[in-house]
Chain A
Amino acid sequence: MSAVPIKRVDGVRVAHPVGDIDAANASQVERELVESLDPDGDCLVLDLHETRYLDSAALDMVFRLNERLRQRRGGLQVVIPDSSPLGRLAAIVGLPKVIPVHASVRDALARCSQDREARRDSEPPPLIGGIGEPDDSRHHCGR
């Protein structure tokens, strides 16, 4: 049984933890999120609309996860609905300065595909058509 339900929308992983993430379960959540990443997965949406509390341990985890995705030249997209008190918490720790925060999953997915387009434009074509860059295949072996 996993702590975080993860589904795939338009080829992007969308995780929506329900309830609380704190010092007791943050490392388990992190492990599951990292394991869910595809070898070519550059984007992960963390949908917090059903998440009630995140404590500092959970926020540390979110920042670490973002770092990990940035190393793959991707990024984390966080969804916090306008009505959620998590927005104030995110502001206190400066999360929106580092990680894009969206009001809805749809916005987050749009940003993912924008980033993808931008990356495709700015990078040389892959050496082997369709499989991805050498970097990505290294991740594949690591999984």
Chain B
Amino acid sequence: MKQVGSAPVQGSEATGSRPAGDADELQDLADMELVYRSLEDALSGLLEWVRSELAVDTAAVLLLDEDRGVLVARAARGLEEEVREGVQVPLARGFAGRVAAQARPIVLDDLKTADVVNPILRQKGIRSMVGVPVHVEGRVIGVMHVGSLVKRAFAEEDIARLQLAADRAAVMIDAARLAEQRSVTEVMQRTLLPDEFPRVPGLRLSAKYLAAGSGIKVGGDWYDVFELPNGRMALVIGDVVGRGVTAAAVMAEARTALRAYLIEGHGLREAISLLNDLLISLGRNRAATVAILELDLELGEIDAVSAGHLPAVLVDGSGSATLWHLPQGPPLGIAYGHRYEGERRRFGADDALLLFTDGLVEVRGEVIDEGLERLRGAAEAAATGEYGSLADRVCWALAGKTAFEDDMALLAVESMPLGPVVEITLEAEPGVLVGLRRTLGRWLADVGAGENDLFDIALATSEAAANAIEHAYGARRATFEVRCERRGEEVRVTVRDEGRWRASRSNGRGRGLAIMQGLMDSVELDHDEHGTTVTLVRHLDAGSA
């Protein structure tokens, strides 16, 4: 008995300690299957034991489907058709239904005179039955019953042994359910949190995600970072109320819809309002809090909207941290048609920002302000550290002071100065051009270029990059490199790819080359068997700065 009973528990432990990675998703599915199959096997093994111990002809386990108020046959011995035919017994009706509703053992000495819903019991010729409830933490989750083909008076001792077996079944079922929910939730979360962050020069991103404890506590916390079509960065932190698969599913909907709205080009205020209305119209009975920020590294500004989410923590270049109470609208999913307001503020080089969910700051029995103050202190302590990422250091600084009783997500955003030389590797697709121009704009402003210089150099570089992208046409995941350097009054940009030079395909008239030549002091093209390098040089115009 020990042997069969241990299978689902081992399975659930195995799902809890896997390393992350693509192949793991297959493993997750296999684990879930294992959990399912081994539960059936384990219960069948248990029922076989019951059948011989009690010298009965049939033994079955039915599990309660709480949503529908019915008991569903899940495993059986001597009565296999009950499972095969998916027998369902309404709660409080029939034999099993009464056992579940009354949560106590019931003995039927003679079926001929009893109320029995399930026709299979009669067809089998069962004369006498005993049923006991299967419960977990005082809640009935199912029924185990045995039957005899000959009329029989079951003794108290028989009932006690059957209850023992039912308790054993309860442990198996509970463990299997937890493992199942956890696997589903973990797979969803791993799929939904970003695998890697966008790589943008002068922007450092780090994150921490902790799933509290074990089992179905895993919740609907999420964060997201992606580049907007205007070249700015969208930063998202959110928390769906509740835990388990449903919370994770609502999180998935919210995250996906929000990305879609923002990538379509809706502004923050519009996107959050649309998301709120969408969640309400989908009829999800779950509130969620979310904060959405748009970071403009070039202007050194950050814009924020919030639906009932916690404040953010801002850390300035001197390492001093303050709470940023984001403009508050109601949590998502409550007030249909609400128009959310936003707030913009400075966010320059050396500034950092922490976005987080309540698991990072909440400690039972404490008001939230204490947790926020503790985090603010931790952010100051973490600001100057050298090891790990900012998100790591914040968690280290909180270790021992916060129990991490709930799930928590932490997203740390640092704006870094670009320095005198910038080197960027970009994917060869046109979507990168806008981000490249924004990064160049930021760097050129840092090195003291005026407005005209900035426009000309950024656009000429973008043209050279567009050529590199065309050279890579058809190649899979090709990249190219951009290097920018200031030497005295001169800015030198090189754009290097691994393709062969050719004039723009789109117009065949080399308009791109004409633009580069018109905007820069010199344009050099070098191409060899390794690729093409475009070198652009421009003397900064002292008068325009």
Q: Which A residues are within 8 Å of any B CB, using their own CB?
A: 1, 3, 19-20, 22-25, 53, 55-57, 59-60, 85, 88-89, 92-93
Contact = CB atoms under 8 A, between A and B. Distances in A.
Contact of B430 (A1, A19, A22, A93): A22
B437 interface: yes
A55 B466 contact: yes
B148 to A, nearest CB: 70
A92 B430 CA distance: 23
A55 B518 CA distance: 13
19 contacts: A22-B430, A24-B229, A24-B431, A53-B455, A53-B462, A55-B466, A55-B512, A56-B507, A56-B515, A60-B507, A60-B511, A85-B451, A85-B455, A88-B456, A89-B515, A92-B518, A93-B511, A93-B514, A93-B515
Contacts of B515: 55-56, 59, 89, 92-93
A22 B434 CA distance: 8
A55 B458 CA distance: 10
Interface string B410-444: 00000000000000000000110110010000000
B459 interface: yes
A120 B452 CA distance: 43
A3 B455 CA distance: 22
A25 B466 CA distance: 13
A92 B266 CA distance: 34
Nearest to A18: B230
Interface of B is mostly: helix
Contact of B463 (A24, A56, A60): A56
Interface residues of B, number: 30
B506 A55 contact: no
Contact of A55 (B229, B231, B264, B462): B462
Given A85-B451, A92-B519, A25 B229 contact: yes
Contacts, number: 75
B3 to A, nearest CB: 60
A1 B231 CA distance: 18
B200 to A, nearest CB: 16
B507 A55 contact: no
A55 B230 contact: no
Contact of A92 (B455, B507, B514): B514
Contacts of B265: 1, 3
B459 A55 contact: yes
B504 interface: yes
Nearest to B261: A1
B211 interface: no
B104 to A, nearest CB: 61
A56 B504 contact: yes
Contacts of B514: 92-93
Contacts of B456: 85, 88
A85 B452 contact: yes
Top 6 A-B residue pairs of the complex, sorted by shortest distance between their CB atoms: A92-B518, A24-B430, A85-B455, A23-B430, A56-B512, A56-B511
Contacts of B264: 1
B50 interface: no
Contacts of A53: 437, 455, 458-459, 462
A84 to B, nearest CB: 9
A1 B518 contact: no
A57 B455 CA distance: 17
A11 to B, nearest CB: 27
A56 B466 contact: yes
A60 to B, nearest CB: 5
Contacts of B504: 56
A55 B507 CA distance: 13
Contacts of B452: 85, 88
Given A1-B264, A3-B265, A55-B463, 19 more contacts: A1-B265, A20-B437, A22-B466, A23-B466, A24-B431, A53-B458, A55-B459, A55-B462, A55-B466, A56-B506, A56-B511, A56-B512, A56-B515, A59-B511, A60-B511, A88-B452, A89-B515, A92-B514, A92-B519
A22 B462 contact: yes
B310 interface: no
Nearest to B511: A56
Q: Which of B229, B434, B452, B462 has the most CB of A within 10 A?
A: B434
B467 to A, nearest CB: 9
B434 A24 contact: yes
Contact of B433 (A1, A22, A59): A22
Contacts of A88: 452, 456, 518-519
A19 B434 CA distance: 10
Contacts of B451: 85
Contact of B506 (A1, A20, A25, A60): A60
Contacts of B459: 53, 55, 89
A20 B438 CA distance: 11
